[in-house]
Amino acid sequence: MEKKWTEIPADENQIQELAKELKVNPLICKLLVQRGITSYEEAKVFFRPTLEHLHDPFLMKDMDKAVERVIQAIDNNQKILLYGDYDVDGTTCVALMYTFLARISPKENIIYYIPNRYKEGYGVSKKGIEYAKEIDAQLIIAMDCGIQAMDKIALANSYGIDSIICDHHLPSEILPEAVAVLDPKRKDCEYPFKELSGCGVAFKLAQGIAEKQGYSDEVWSDLFDLLVISIGCDIVRMTGENRTIAHFGLRQINEQRARVGLTSLIEKSGKELPVSIGDLVFGVGPMINAAGRLADAKEAVELMLSGDKHEADIIAMGLYEKNLERRDFEKAITKEAVEMFKKEKDYEKKKSIVLSSPNWHKGIVGIAASKLVEKFHRPTIILMENEKMVVGSARSVSGFNVHQAIHECSDLLNNFGGHQHAAGLSLRKENLEAFKIKFEEVVSLTIEDENLTPEIPISSNLNFDKINTKFLNLLKQFSPFGPGNRRPVFRSNSVRDSGYSKIVKDEHLKLSIKQKNSQNVNGIGFWMGEHYDRVSKEAFDICYVLEENHWKGKTSISLNLKDIK
């Protein structure tokens, strides 16, 4: 599929002024200006994060009420139920809050609950509230969920159980009647950073309790390893407070100070220290998620709380094996879905993809939807059928609000929820064909043609003679990378094969290329083997990110290609 290369704008005057202040390469200043950093002080905060950059937790609406209620529960020896979602963010929330509370209150009073993905679904469940009643909990702390749980919180209230919500999803106009609702996205919340993960909101509560009780920062300062996994895997913005937290989380992991369970997961993922955000997102995250997709997400929490390396290794191996199983499901579903879509009449003219099968796994359809978006660049919904109902997940392309499009079809749905980029939905089987037709109509009327063409934002042109270790070391200081602070993508024009490029594993393009009189530069274009015949004969343009490779004690610079023209 043809991709559009667009250069990220940057004001030339701001670049030159910043270059004078910082006395560094103007290209580095261009990358900073593209991130909204235009002064020495802003650059200092960006490049040198400190714990002083964390905001006062009491700036968050209802934090005083939440802190007071938790302290009351501790002082009165009350049982506290920690309720978290079954994904990476939810399980890290529970592990973080359990670790923190167990340090300042009796462990036997801290109980956690993770809902079953298939029996209870997303969010606070009735079964979870009934469990709280059964164990005589007097306080529920719901994390990474709860902002829409009006009826479930009302049920807890009817049982005399108080609730605190720590969420980061968009609230409705009406909030649940909890003792405290912590969510920086509340319209009446003046907390200065709105993009915390669910685990980040839980962390602010822990910070607030520690501050109120006069504990030293040591009671929470080793929780960053959990937080960085949450921030990376939940794909929240890597700016502001998130970037500061992620910086310290990566440092903790790479200095071998991570908790035992996470160390076991990193080892099983095959990643070596130092790890990056990408290593956590693509190596550790899928194994944690595999617990909730194919088994019980409590396993992931048990692993994160384990203090025994042997026990942690056993659990981590189990999650590793479940993730392999998940990959097999994913490949099979994706392959079948691609073939199914290509069999549809005039499939190339369609603006959306809606596919269903009784053979697909409910826990994997969201991943399959993402794979089809990558391949066809269309808003995609993948559904699993049973006798009466159809349930599944939607994923979108950049710039298109798939949640709003699904909302337009709500008369055909039993339930739906999510956000602009991803959503979940359920409907009766007899409504499926009508839904497919209506969703395609809605998307066709509302999507722009530019949204149907994948776009690669280019940071700058770069000549090969500028690529060296010093430049790469400067780029590394821009990490941790993520939304809002993407790894810079560079463009190099009129490059040629040095004669040593080849296809590897039948589908990947391993490049050895040069530009004018430059030295040879190596690169890899995953799934770009089809370009080999042309790149071996003529000049071409490339866009790529720079990476550092470690092999047999040697370090080299490599290009990871994003596209070839």
Q: What is the CATH number of domain 4-48+456-564?
A: 2.40.50.460
Residue 120 has pLDDT above 90, yes or no: no
> Which pLDDT does position 118 carry in this prediction?
79
- For the residues 412-432, what does the mean pLDDT come to? 88
Nearest alpha-carbon partner for 383 in 420, 423, 421, 343: 423
Q: Do domains 57-235 and 344-452 have the same CATH topology?
A: no
Q: Which two tokens stand for residue 105?
A: 């209150």
User: Which 3 state secondary structure label does DSSP give 559?
Assistant: strand
Q: Distance between CA 243 and CA 322 in Å, rounded?
A: 31
292: confidence class by pLDDT, cuts 50, 70, 90: confident
> Which pLDDT does position 416 carry in this prediction?
84
CATH architecture of 57-235: Alpha-Beta Complex (3.90)
> Which pLDDT does position 506 carry in this prediction?
86
> Which pLDDT does position 517 carry in this prediction?
80
Q: Distance between CA 1 and CA 564 in Å, rounded?
A: 11
Q: Distance between CA 128 and CA 119 in Å, rounded?
A: 11
Please list, in sequence order, all residues whose beta carbon lies within 8 angstroms of the beta carbon of residue 433, skipping any fewer than 6 positions away. none
- The DSSP bridge partners found for residue 417 are 424
Rg (CA), the chain: 25
In Å, how far are 67, 363, 554 from 179, measured between CA atoms?
10, 33, 57
C-alpha 441 chain-centroid distance: 30
Residue 497 has pLDDT above 90, yes or no: yes
172-214 pLDDT tens trace? 899 999 999 999 999 999 999 999 999 999 999 999 999 999 9
Residue 562 has pLDDT above 80, yes or no: yes
What is the sign of the dihedral through the CA atoms of 558, 563, 564 and 565? negative
> Which pLDDT does position 561 carry in this prediction?
96
Segments making up each domain of the chain, as ranges: 4-48+456-564, 57-235, 344-452
CA angle 125–126–127, rounded 5-degree value: 90
Q: Distance between CA 373 and CA 353 in Å, rounded?
A: 9
Q: What angle separates helix 198-213 from helix 240-254, to the nearest 10 degrees? A: 80
User: Which 3 state secondary structure label does DSSP give 51?
Assistant: helix
- Site of tokens 């692993």: 303
> Per mean pLDDT, which range of 71-80, 193-202, 286-295, 317-326 is the poorest?
286-295
Please list, in sequence order, all residues whose beta carbon lies within 8 angstroms of the beta carbon of residue 544, skipping any fewer than 6 positions away. 489, 490, 492, 523, 559, 560, 561, 562
The CATH class of 344-452 is alpha beta
Residue 224 · residue 200 · CB < 8 Å: no
54-76 pLDDT tens trace? 999 999 999 999 999 999 999 99
Provide the residue type at 303 as one letter: L
Please report, in angstroms and rounded to a whole number, the separation of the first and last CA atoms in the chain.
12
In 139-218, where does DSSP find H-type helix? 150-158, 198-213
Residue ranges with strand state E in 29-120 = 80-84, 110-113
Residue 422 has pLDDT above 90, yes or no: no
